[in-house]
């Protein structure tokens, strides 16, 4: 196997190609282990990143892909229960770890926000790419919007 300099080892060649093929404003789903990519994003590209948690792959992707901070107030969103679901989760470790990954890649934590589950699925249906991780923490799904360099 041949390696490229500067590419995180958990970024496969399929994921690298898909990231390169994305355009400005395209959406990327970071899916937890339970997310159904074929039914939620049937027209998108699906790439496995098994063995990785959500925050870990977010950190690696952000080493390569810019976020759309020029046109989007919250280019990173994490899934939370719908307000009418009767379920309320104040904090999840995976959300905090993802925010740290965003900050470690030069962005402010304010660009990350919550999005209700039903709205998440609606937006995810338009995603260009879904990265399927091994994340098992509940509500470990994220949306990221690609920016320009």
Phi-psi label, residue 65: left if phi above 0, alpha if psi -120 to 50, beta otherwise: beta
Tally of residues, the chain: 149
Query: What string of H, E and C letters represents the secondary structure of 72-100?
Result: CCCCEEEEECCHHHCCCCCCCHHHHHHHH
* Active-site choice (21, 24, 71, 82): 24
* Active-site choice (32, 59, 68, 97): 68
> Given this model, what pLDDT does residue 149 score?
74
What tokens were used for 21?
């093929």
* Active-site choice (35, 107, 121, 139): 121
Whether 38 sits among the annotated catalytic residues: the reply is no
Describe the chain by its helix, strand, coil percentages, rounded to 5: 30, 20, 45
> Given this model, what pLDDT does residue 1 score?
44
Whether 33 sits among the annotated catalytic residues: the reply is no
> Given this model, what pLDDT does residue 88 score?
84
Q: d(Cα 17, Cα 142) in Å, to the nearest integer?
A: 20
What tokens were used for 59?
């950190």
> Given this model, what pLDDT does residue 50 score?
95
Q: Give the pTM.
A: 0.94
Written as tens digits, the pLDDT of the chain (149 aa) is 457 889 999 999 999 999 999 999 999 999 999 999 999 999 999 999 999 999 999 999 999 999 999 999 999 999 999 999 988 888 899 999 999 999 999 999 999 999 999 999 999 999 999 999 999 999 999 999 999 97
Q: Are strands 76-80 and 112-116 parallel, antiparallel or unpaired?
A: parallel
For the chain, state the CA radius of gyration: 14
> Given this model, what pLDDT does residue 74 score?
98
Strand, helix or coil for residue 135? coil
Whether 139 sits among the annotated catalytic residues: the reply is no
Judge contact between 89 and 139, C-beta under 8 A: yes
Q: In the chain, what are the domains?
A: 13-145 (3.40.1650.10)
């Amino acid at each position: 196997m041949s390696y490229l300099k500067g590419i995180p080892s958990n970024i496969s060649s399929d994921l690298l190609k898909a990231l390169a093929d994305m355009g400005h404003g395209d959406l990327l789903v970071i899916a937890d282990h339970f997310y159904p990519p074929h039914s939620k994003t049937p027209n998108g590209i699906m790439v496995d990143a098994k063995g990785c948690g959500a925050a870990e792959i977010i950190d690696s992707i952000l080493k390569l892909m810019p976020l759309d901070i020029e046109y989007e107030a919250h280019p990173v969103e994490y899934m939370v229960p719908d307000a009418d679901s009767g379920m309320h989760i104040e904090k999840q470790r995976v959300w905090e770890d993802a925010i740290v990954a965003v900050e470690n890649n030069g962005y402010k934590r304010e660009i990350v926000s919550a999005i209700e589950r039903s709205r998440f699925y609606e937006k995810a249906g338009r995603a260009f790419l879904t990265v399927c991780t091994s994340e098992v923490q509940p509500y470990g799904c994220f949306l990221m919007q690609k920016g320009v360099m």
